[in-house]
Structure 1
Amino acid sequence: MKLVESIMTKNPCYTVGKKIAVKGLMLHSVGCPQPRASAFINSWNRVDYTRACVHGFIDALDGTIYQTLPWNHRGWHCGSGKNGSGNDTHIGVEMCESACTTYTGGATFKVADGKLEEARACAKRSYDAAVELFAMLCGKFGLDPLADGVIVSHAEGHKRGIASNHGDSEHLWRQLGLPYSMDGFRKNVKAALGGSVAESSSASDADSKRMQTAELKNLSDADVIAKVGTLFSVDQREGGILASVSLAQFILESGYGKSELAQNANNVFGMKKNLSGNTWGGSAWDGVSVYGKQKQEYVDGKYVTVTADFRKYSCVEDSIADHSAYLLGAVDGKKLRYEGLKGCTDYQKAVQIIKDGGYATSPDYVEKLCTIIERWELTKWDVKDAVSVADGGGMANGDCPFLVKVSIPDLNIRKGAGTNTGKTGRHTGVGVFTVVEVRQGKGSEMGWGRLKSGAGWIALSFCERV
């Protein structure tokens, strides 16, 4: 392990000097295409950088770890939740990410063509270095890596109510098709610390902990929906496609997960090896595994039988992730094939977008999906705030500061983040403004931005980022 001390002494988090009793460690991923730790250190080590400070960065190019705060200083790395803030209890470490990725909103990204292995290599270097660092820190502070709540990701911290709503670090590994999980990470830290438990890096070992369609084979239709429903809710949070729509597609195209393709290839959407010549980033498919079968397609007014290679996945979660990545990234010329699908909150409109984009050849595809959604009341799986500042709105605290363009003359400025807070009595007018903080709040799916001028908060749903 190469550990370099590079304390950000100018950052206000350091100069405040508040100490904590270290009770745990939180793993983060930076959520942007920047592999060099030095880029963050140079940017954050300023007296006016009041938004964030972590205890360390892991360089994705060589695995070097840069300590940027004393380990017992209180960092500003995870926000807070209903049960408090992990900043008061946990050390926060950021893994840098490959320059080959382009984030398309929130936790969803694309990988440049031909660069998947490079992106995976960066993630592997960061992962391996994080294991060594966390083992050292567990030894230093007498922590048990396998104890509840000791080692968590930012996403797990949110679920525990001690962090803001982010998808890292799991989103990185999943979309790169890597066999990593937080459970495996904790076990590897334990092994590095001198314990006897270790998780193999093989895909088969990691995937055994994720859902297989064999688990659905003997379940009733209702039980299948109950078992997989949360997977689609999670997917909506990360990508912005209504859970009810994706779940209905799953039901229709895989026969409740019991079709030949689903049972033999974990392919629950009938995803072919190649789709209309499209490529897209963030694919969870390994690019190699296929399953050949015959398929009925509607051509020139009639159904015909064709033989095709279909993608084979290691688990149901990967099938769902790859399907969503396709819908969000497939293009028709220079235009997104399913433009308007991300963030659409009307399932009927969303289904029509999918049909109009050429996803299905069946003439009654829209009617079929809507009937399934209504029959099973699948909208209960929809996440109302999914396209939010943290998950899919494309404007998040990690991006601050940034500029937004306001094109309406009477956008209200409010005293807080939400329409349930008071108006200041002022309007922005038309122009470009600097946002220095983002929060979720009522009345704006894209979140609320605090103006640098100090005038108050504006609804980002009515702004365009520039």
Structure 2
Amino acid sequence: MSIKITKMIAKTHCYIGQNHPNYVIIHETDNWAKGANSRAHATAMKNGNLDGTVHYYVDSQECYQTLEHQDGAWAVGDGKGKYGITNKNSINIEICVNPESNYYVAVDRAAQLAAMLLNQYGWDTSHLKRHYDASRKHCPRRILDEGLWDNFVKCTKSYMKKGTNAGSVKPVKEEEPAKLYRVRKTWADSKSQIGAYAYLDNAKIACPAGYSVYDWTGKNVYTNTTAKTGTQATKLKGLTPADLIKKIGPLFTADQLKTGVLASVSMAQFILESGWGKSGLTQKANNAFGMKQNLSGNTWPGSKWDGKSVVSMRTGEQKKNGEHYTITANFRRYPCIEDSIGDHSAYLAGAKNGNALRYAGLKGCKDYKKAATIIKNGGYATDINYVNQLCRIIEQYKLTDYDVKAGNTGTDSKPAATTPTSTTTQKKTFKVKVTANDLRIRKGPGTDYAFTGKYTGKGRFTIVEEKGGWGRLKSGAGWICLTVNCVTRV
């Protein structure tokens, strides 16, 4: 496999002759403007109009080399070498995210380019890094947000084995369909596409259960027929808060009967931590509680996790002084929501801190405020407002309707057939405090609405409408999620 590279070499804003490459670093431009493709960025860099510089820009159609490898880019200096990666020991690739470019095709082409460079220098994929690895900057943003990094590395390895080189393949003409294998639910459902790949093997690796691989003519060449049992997070995405609670409420009631963990508290955690079942982690891995690969440094009885299935995602943490920070971590992947609930409750009931139960007193506790406090004090969450957030959700949406009442044995433990009445749109004005710089503003109340390309930044903001855990900004900029850790009411 070859990739066509056009050279447009710059000699400004770089360290001429001072680079001694040891890493290939992946970035994203974060430039969603129309026309902000690889050629536009290369031209701007050539003209000295960009403060940051890299060695390559790639989109779904073209690839430009903008620095010689011997010249160091102004790309990862924000890390100041703290993590071993510098501007003078790295080759840097920017993936363009402009709207005209097919993002997933651009990512695949970046994997081809990375494979070519790794082969050229005789390196393995331990030399393939993200900008995040150099400085802890949230970059490449979409790769991190969508949990694509592990698959990116796998694809790069595959291209390395096939011997990707520069030069012989002409650029795909815009009027011609790219000869790529696309992963979708159906050929007609283009919105369901989760990737496009030059090799069938890579497309199969990325194809989850219930999806198929189609060639460039629309022919189905592979279907992942692995059976899915239990509730799938993808079926929750379009539900209103009221419908979601009605659907998952009985799952938490059943879990309380098995584990003794109060249904209302577990369900509030589900709502808070999964963004009403719509978070990227929940949708990709049926992981509704942010359960990491390793927790508390031990194991616990009754775990529903298979011990190996993981997905890499970004996550927000908070220090004791209230300062927010982000890390990338491996999270557990489950076959269904029921297993996520079961593993979460098994952890709460059985995890230990030394020889003592980490959440002693939680099992069988009937007071949701006390139960939430036990969970927080056991070290479950770093957010200092965690208990208040859980209690607010429980009270607002009447989640105690799903708690198993004292004396129930299971035969009459079904919650009352009531629909929470507080899930409708509320137009009461209030203020929130945002303590993170990268809280996304969306065009509507949910992650299924488009990202506006803007962030709130830190500060206090007025909310004029609330719907399903989302708030509409008074400024008119859009909607923000109110249930994430970096947002608190004031």
Q: TM-score range by the shorter chain?
A: 0.3 to 0.5
Q: TM-score with structure 2 length normalisation?
A: 0.41
